[in-house]
Structure 1
């Protein structure tokens, strides 16, 4: 079934996989609880819950998990007009937690629905921000579809965001992926990477030096998430702005980076920002504080459960 972009009630589109995380209960694999997620899926929900008109671009299974995924999008206020459905199974991710409750993933993706997304054609004029990432930019044939959408929307002036959210076990040729990653950067305005992602992409090189090279290739800003050490942004103007994390009891880190991405995009949209180069140090500090506060709520709960605007307002 082909998605339709004829009518859409959204200004932010997040594209990529939707999947089910099987999360250990009380840190044991003897009991796994299903949690609905996927990086781009979480970004769409995070933005919508924060009051922004958000849509999700993907192919979702018609199985029971797929129905639940679609239902959660609908309940969160995400526009479904770009969602395609298929009878292929839902992607599964088995999650393990380390001593700090940081998540590690094993994926089951063979023949699953999300990797078979088809090109919806040009996105409607109402769309001003496009966000892509994670397995959506790895697994074919969907990766080529999202790459095509990225280039087309960038060329028409949409603010584009990329979170590669590296899953190294799913990348069969690291050298080829790094080369492909560099080919995306001329079409990317905002690059968000975790410190682990940045180190992997830099292939042993200095992260800040690599960030400078990535900025020269196209983006106006590189946002770096550093777990408990906070968030930083490096801009094309040479500014480096850092904000600390919000102290909280961490249940798990599932969806933390996705919440950062969704919250950043919501912050930009709510202020009408279409040119990241226009943001100064104070602007970036406020944007990062907003994203850090949202992520703190997510990690205080099991699974990827981004906050609503009301929850975030009360927390701040």
Structure 2
């Protein structure tokens, strides 16, 4: 069995509401579902058949028990120290607008357990709140610096959260530093608008690709699909037409499928995307767009399995 891909970042529960009305379960309590961008990516990877280990932090309270059961049930391995008795599990209140697009308010504390790289680990992924909220953000940045000479591919999804980091200038500076330590950076068009207002996605990608290590930038564009820019060229992928239920977790499903696709092309590990061609990128981004589309047809952060992807879109 190959060594697992390592995902580092927050795991929390999403409390979903529509406008002023909170969604409730059969017992009348607010409906809480497992979430957190990195945790969603870890589940997405595992469902797509990629062995995955998650470094996170949550408690042994009811929300934490729910998270643990969800992660374990989907085949995600938890790093030692990720579950801490007495720690209060973090939450995010997701409010859906009329189109099913979510906005978030967070109640979160982030400080990961000790970070280390297992022998043979092909890739490390991180992003979202975990990369900007102290003291955990410094721990992640220092960890990525130790990977500079290691045979491992690093991927980053900043997943900007203006409610956590309202200043785009300082947030962009932090993103640039982490991006320079990463082989692939994924952004959404909303990230681009917040972090670099007035700049085109293409110019942002070129800016990030100026770092010697960064080989590829992928930018998602919601219903319009995604574009990928690498040192070999640019590709555009159109999103399939679907009936959207909500967009919760769609970007995380995309990210998981992007990593899984690169794994399937044997581009992770020591090569660090060095052999990535425009044809490879087209195939991988198309796979990721279709994974995100499946998630958008379902409630909440519910990434597809490899079998569901194949059944919906073909092998």
Whether these two folds match at TM > 0.5 is yes
Aligned residues, how many? 303
Which consecutive aligned stretches of 4+ in structure 1 deviate over 6 angstroms post-superposition? none
- Structure 2: unaligned runs, 5 residues or longer: 25-29
Equivalent runs, 1:58-97 vs 2, <5 Å: 58-82=56-80, 84-86=82-84, 87-97=86-96
The counterpart of 1:291, out of the listed 288, 291, 308, is 288
> How big is the shift at 1:38?
0.4
Q: Distance in 2 between matches of 1:140 and 1:269?
A: 31
> How big is the shift at 1:26?
9.5
> How big is the shift at 1:30?
6.2
Preserved contact between residue 132 and residue 174 of structure 2 (Cα < 8 Å): no
Q: Distance in 2 between matches of 1:295 and 1:307?
A: 8
Which has a greater percent of helix? 1
2:277 maps to 1:280: yes
- Structure 1: unaligned runs, 5 residues or longer: 1-7
- TM-score, normalised with respect to structure 1: 0.90
Residue 156 (structure 1) aligns with = 150
Q: Distance in 1 between matches of 2:214 and 2:34?
A: 31
2:305 maps to 1:308: yes
Equivalent runs, 1:69-148 vs 2, <5 Å: 69-82=67-80, 84-86=82-84, 87-109=86-108, 112=109, 115-120=110-115, 122-148=116-142
Q: Distance in 2 between matches of 1:240 and 1:140?
A: 35
Q: Secondary structure at the match of 1:116?
A: coil
Q: Distance in 2 between matches of 1:227 and 1:82?
A: 36
Q: Secondary structure at the match of 2:303?
A: coil
Preserved contact between residue 19 and residue 97 of structure 2 (Cα < 8 Å): no
Q: Distance in 2 between matches of 1:209 and 1:292?
A: 22
Alignment root-mean-square deviation, CA: 1.9
Q: Secondary structure at the match of 2:284?
A: helix
Preserved contact between residue 50 and residue 309 of structure 1 (Cα < 8 Å): yes
- TM-score, normalised with respect to structure 2: 0.91
Q: Distance in 1 between matches of 2:284 and 2:3?
A: 21
Q: Distance in 1 between matches of 2:302 and 2:188?
A: 19
Question: CA deviation digits over 1:124-160, x for unaligned, max 9?
Answer: 1121100000010111111111112222123313100
Q: Distance in 2 between matches of 1:295 and 1:10?
A: 26
The counterpart of 1:246, out of the listed 240, 250, 265, is 240
Residue 189 (structure 1) aligns with = 183
Preserved contact between residue 217 and residue 230 of structure 2 (Cα < 8 Å): yes
> How big is the shift at 1:27?
8.3
Q: Distance in 1 between matches of 2:80 and 2:87?
A: 18
Preserved contact between residue 3 and residue 119 of structure 2 (Cα < 8 Å): no
Preserved contact between residue 80 and residue 113 of structure 2 (Cα < 8 Å): no
Equivalent runs, 1:205-284 vs 2, <5 Å: 205-217=199-211, 218-237=213-232, 239-274=233-268, 275-284=272-281
Q: Distance in 2 between matches of 1:200 and 1:296?
A: 24
Q: Secondary structure at the match of 2:252?
A: helix
